[in-house]
Structure 1
């Protein structure tokens, strides 16, 4: 099974507390996800909840062709104001491991994402990744980059 690695970075002009408060709230994920994915958090009673190790978060999402899928992630690791890791337990990928890192820099915060994923399905998965999945993941992170910039501003 082929595993892919993608990294994304972004600098935002806010303090670490502000960045952490926003990104560690599961409900804010839908705000920085493209609307055509119809991303909905379906876990009950999430208002005001911050991520913690062992937390299970359920979603409905339409990653491709408008087909609604269930997605279940577990927050496996959290180091307050430094990083958290989410891993897919059920969903569209054979493997999904996403590190979110936060670091104070001059004038703001550097966010660094490291994503490992696999589609599975042997040669069909390789083809699917090369013609659409990799492109879709990059589109999602490009959208997120622009949305975060619109919400918080940008650093040079």
Structure 2
């Protein structure tokens, strides 16, 4: 099985508390996911993020095909990092780490994803032709949306509630 890695870094013009409050709330993922992906949470216990939390959702990554995805939050260190793993979904392996660090330039947010596709050799071809580009598109969109929400000139840090 070939495991791929994608890493992004972005600085956020907000406090560590505000950044953590936004990104650790699964409901906010929809706000930073491209609309054509059809992202929709289908089951979530509405609690603040904790290790062992299960989140189920539907997503349409290609051609409008709805796929079910189940993630587990496997580790959480308040205002430092959280990790989600796909339990059921389109990947044969998905491990996503989110790190937050207060710096002189704002909060440094680092995403590190390790993923693998099913189908062996054909999965490697599908990654090269489609999946890698789709992930780049999704994370480019996310980068842009986070800039709009937090980094526009004159923008005030946003406050988000943990509720649904």
Q: TM-score, normalised by structure 1?
A: 0.95
Q: CA RMSD in A?
A: 1.2
Distance in 2 (CA, whole Å) between partners of 1:62 and 1:5 is 22
Distance in 2 (CA, whole Å) between partners of 1:146 and 1:124 is 32
Distance in 1 (CA, whole Å) between partners of 2:38 and 2:114 is 23
**CA deviation profile, 1:24-58 (whole Å, cap 9, x unmatched):** 00100011000000000111552xx3210000000
| 2:50 aligned residue | 52
| 1:135 aligned residue | 133
| 1:84 aligned residue | 82
Q: TM-score, normalised by structure 2?
A: 0.90
Q: Which structure 1 residue ranges, 5 or more long, are not aligned?
A: none
Aligned-partner SS, 2:121: helix
Q: Which consecutive aligned stretches of 4+ in structure 1 deviate over 4 angstroms post-superposition?
A: none
Q: In the alignment, does 2:25 pair up with 1:21?
A: no
| 1:67 aligned residue | 65
Q: Which structure 2 residue ranges, 5 or more long, are not aligned?
A: 154-164
Distance in 1 (CA, whole Å) between partners of 2:134 and 2:13 is 27
Distance in 2 (CA, whole Å) between partners of 1:56 and 1:146 is 28
Cα offset, 1:124, TM superposition: 0.8
| 1:41 aligned residue | 41
